[in-house]
Amino acid sequence: MSEISSPTKALVVFSGGQDSTTCLIQALAEYDEVHGITFDYGQRHRQEIEVAKDLAASLKLASHKVLDTTLLNELAISALTRDSIPVSHELMNNGLPNTFVPGRNILFLTLAGIYAYQLGCHTVITGVCETDFSGYPDCRNEFIQSMQTSLSLGMDKPFNIATPLMWLNKAETWALADKYQQLELVRQQTLTCYNGIIGDGCGDCPSCLLRQRGLDDYLQNQQKVMQSLNDKMSK
């Protein structure tokens, strides 16, 4: 009698935005059991938490945990943690956008790793990207590899932090959603906008502009972008 393999499990760091929802959709096709974790840190666009809850229910995740991490809001001063600081299109003196939340992904991946340990998940999936991003240092592949090593060492368990979007541009991220026949769901039901507007958003904040440029590129060059995506996925 052949041995029955254990079901594969993954935990997705899930904000309800375009990137994490696309990762979630892909994970549902690739893993037997998919869980989600969403962080409430008092973010400016905290409507994303309700969006994440709705999507988790409609996509039928095995579980969805919303974790209170408002202590981050007390420590990290950013346009995403202070309504009094307008979202700027200009970089700060340190070369970073004022929407950068110091330590956010360090905290989120640490907490996700702890929760994954309890769930018996070896894989934590996050939608960070180094190709088409806002200049956040905690979205770089070097940082992710460092966190993966730290989690594995700190809990004496092999962890894999999967980053399906790491080398994709925004057009290719749209193509990935379309590959799983979920482009319209991602377009209409996710929240990427820093001003908290679902779908196409406010059209002005840096996040909306990046998202829209990627969508326009994909819709105008679907075949080319999809081929580029498939080439990257096959490597």
d(CA 211, CA 18): 8
CB 97 within 8 A of CB 91: yes
d(CA 97, CA 42): 19
Closest by alpha carbon to 113, among 160, 44, 167? 160
Question: Any known ligand binding at 5?
Answer: no
Question: Any known ligand binding at 121?
Answer: no
Question: Any known ligand binding at 139?
Answer: no
d(CA 126, CA 24): 9
Give whole-number Cα distances, 11 to 21, 64, 112, 235, in Å. Answer: 13, 9, 8, 24
Question: Any known ligand binding at 20?
Answer: yes
Question: Any known ligand binding at 14?
Answer: yes
The secondary structure of 144-200 as a DSSP string is HHHHHHHHHHHHTS--EEE-TTTT--HHHHHHHHHHTT-HHHHHHH----TT---TT
* Nearby residues of 24 by Cβ (< 8 Å), 6 or more positions away: 12, 14, 34, 36, 55, 59, 61, 125
CB 33 within 8 A of CB 134: no
Phi, psi of 148 (to 5 degrees): -60, -45
* Nearby residues of 172 by Cβ (< 8 Å), 6 or more positions away: 218, 225, 228, 229, 232
Question: Any known ligand binding at 129?
Answer: no
Question: Any known ligand binding at 15?
Answer: yes
Annotated binding-site residues for ATP read 14-24
Binding site residues, as ranges?
Answer: 14-24, 193, 202, 205, 208
Annotated binding residues for Zn(2+), as ranges? 193, 202, 205, 208
